[in-house]
Structure 1
Amino acid sequence: MNCPYCGKKLISGFIYGGGYGVQKGIIWLPENIEPTLEAWVFESEKLNKNNLLSEAKVKSYKCSNCRKIIIDIDDES
């Protein structure tokens, strides 16, 4: 896969998250929202599919040239 910004080859990898129980995972919040428990539950978008026994991770592709990371939301990695 090539970088959509500069066209160079992307490096495949994972972004890992943390947390415990139902709050385990990797989330995205708008920059104007503080990362509180309430925001995690009501305002966040979960970026990975996982259950209580799986690792919180999401497949990603890094461009060493642009220093950008691209992910697919809800990837089954």
Structure 2
Amino acid sequence: MEKCPYCSKDMLDGTLLGDRKALKWKPRDKTLLPGLWACGGLTVGSHVPTARAEARAWFCSYCRKVIIDVDNC
């Protein structure tokens, strides 16, 4: 069980899902471009064309934060 880095309470283990595209994280200062959804962004999780994009994630129900370890998706 992971501990929340914000409040130290137990976090719930789960999966962050996408649909037809890979999950992406986009920096706040970058804009969305047609055809280049998150230029300058970071692909998160695994994506196979025939499957749903997903990444392991932990959720803190107390402070409502989701934590993703991008190196271990």
**How does the TM-score come out when normalised to structure 1?**
0.77
Partners of 2:12 and 2:70 in 1: CA distance = 17
Identity %: 28
What is the aligned residue count? 71
Of Structure 1 and Structure 2, which has the larger fraction of its residues in helix? 1
Letter in 1 for 2:14: G
Shift of residue 75, structure 1, vs aligned partner = 3.2
Q: How does 1:26-37 map to 2 (within 5 A)?
A: 26-36=23-33, 37=35
Gaps of 5+ in 2: none
Which residue identity is paired with 1:30? Answer: P
Preserved CA contact (<8 Å) 1:25 1:56: yes
The answer to whether structure 1 residue 16 and structure 2 residue 6 are counterparts is no
TM-score, normalization: structure 2?
Answer: 0.80
Runs of 4+ in 1 over 4 A off after TM superposition: none
Task: Give the aligned residue type for 2:11.
Answer: L
